Copies of this chain bind each other. A is one copy, B any other.
Amino acid sequence: MARVTLQTIADRVGVSRMTVSNAFSRPDQLSSDLRDQILAAAQELGYVGPDPAARALARGTAGAVGVLLTDSLRYAFTDEVATGFLGAIVDELAPSGVALTLLTSDERGEAVPARDVAVDGAVVYSCLPQSNARDWLLRRHLPLVYVDQDPDPEIPSINVDDRGGARLAATHLVELGHRRIGVLTLAVAGTRVSLDDDAESAAVPHPQRERLLGTLEVLRGHGIEPAIEHAERHGDEEAQAAAHLLLAGPERPTGVLCFSDVLALGVIRAAHELGLEVPGDVSVVGFDDSPVAARNEPGITTVRQDVAAKGRLAAVELTAAIERAREADAADASAPPPAEIAHHVLPTELVIRGTTAPPPI
């Protein structure tokens, strides 16, 4: 049995292929009588509807948008901050009927999703600044939205006031009286990078860099030079291992600023292993206010960001960007008013819970 196409139905009913196409895609273009007849014939022949691939080519619309994630796609499903963000995107997108396609920056193998999969636009979310995959998306001239990326004036972006949040956290510890402070952040691609070298600094993902800058600004302002440790990866074990380095040294900090709640949990566990009380012996501050922070007993003092709002906003901005691109395409020659590109910075907020206290005397 050969494939059923518009032509098959057209022949059967005795109309032109175009009319059949209209029956499906533009019902107002033909009498409802004929339309019913065509739909009936389609049903009978087992025709499902216009082929998505063909339609995508002819219309220039894929019906799906992408999200570019790390090379470890798995991570996106393990981390509660990431899942919260993605959940909000899909939720916002659902009513419009566009699907979400997960794009990885993983480049083993021939096929590169960011180059080879049809999408109408994409959210660039959790990937390294120098990601190849992001370059592919850029070169395709796809409508993009940057989330938690170094902003580019041409591209709508959504960021969080990471620096301000970090300042709040650092100030909190300083005001409690802490002077020996540790910082726990994430290694980039398995290696520790500092902000001293510009080239290296550019390789650090935006949020981490901002968080470190905000932290150092406050601490150095008080003459404090923190000990900085890097977790190899964003997992429980890695966090705990790095925390051990921080807490087992000679000059053990009385307070630790962590650049995520998962890291903070690692510090708390490491502290317990070393027989230290939190917050009695060590104060711990997290970041993000992910569910783990509230779940922990005691609740983790942390810097809140509204992950759901970030996701929703990303979806809205992407939809808008796609719309703009369509209009620009149509407008053609006319001087297109260079639509305002939005750059959002969402607020952060310090949430004081039970893991911070004045340092031991």
Contacts and interface: CB of A to CB of B under 8 A. Distances in A.
A347 interface: no
A62 interface: yes
A71 to B, nearest CB: 8
Interface stretch (A107-115, A219-227, A238-246): A107-115
Interface in A28-49: 46, 48-49
A104 interface: yes
Interface stretch (A78-86, A150-158, A192-200): A78-86
Contacts of A94: 73, 104, 106, 108
A51 B112 CA distance: 13
A118 interface: yes
Contacts of A49: 115-116
How many copies are assembled? 2
A139 B90 CA distance: 25
Interface in A278-302: 295, 297
Contacts of A99: 66, 101-104, 113, 117
A91 interface: yes
A118 B77 contact: no
B62 A87 contact: no
Nearest to A83: B77
A52 interface: yes
Contact of A46 (B66, B98, B118, B139): B139
A56 interface: yes
Interface in A48-102: 48-49, 51-57, 60, 62-64, 66, 72-74, 76-78, 83-84, 86-88, 90-91, 94-102
A64 B103 CA distance: 10
A12 interface: no
B102 A90 contact: yes
The listed residue with most B CB atoms (<10 A of its CB), out of A56, A115, A116, is: A116
Per CB-CB distance, the 6 closest pairs between chain A and chain B, nearest first, are: A97-B111, A77-B87, A52-B118, A73-B90, A99-B113, A53-B56
23 contacts: A48-B136, A48-B140, A49-B116, A52-B117, A52-B118, A53-B60, A62-B118, A63-B111, A64-B64, A73-B90, A74-B88, A76-B87, A76-B90, A77-B87, A78-B87, A94-B104, A94-B106, A97-B110, A97-B113, A97-B116, A99-B102, A101-B102, A295-B295
